[in-house]
Amino acid sequence: MSALEIKLSDLHWVDYWSQNGFEKILRSIEYQRSQLGSKHQPTQVKQETIEKIEPEDAKTCFSRGNDLYGLGKYEEAIAAYDQAIAIKPDDPDAWYNKACCYGSQNNLDLALENLQRAIQLDNENKEMAKTDTDFDNIRSDPRF
Q: 22: exposed, middle or buried (C-beta count within 10 Å: 0-12, 13-18, 19+)? A: exposed
Instruction: Name which of 64, 124, 49 is nearest 98 in CA terms.
Output: 64
Residue 109 has what pLDDT? 94
Q: What is the largest CA-CA distance in the chain?
A: 42
pLDDT at 34: 59
Could you tell me the residue ranges of all domains in the chain?
35-135
Neighbours of 58 (CB within 10 A): 20
Looking at the whole model, is its pTM more than 0.95? no
pLDDT at 26: 60
Question: How far is Cα 43 from Cα 134, in angstroms, rounded to an integer?
Answer: 21
CATH topology for the 35-135 domain: 1.25.40
pLDDT computed for residue 50 by the predictor: 47
pLDDT at 117: 96
Q: How many CB atoms lie within 10 A of CB 64?
A: 24
Mean pLDDT by 10 residues, the chain (144 residues): 48 50 56 55 49 65 91 94 93 95 93 95 92 85 81
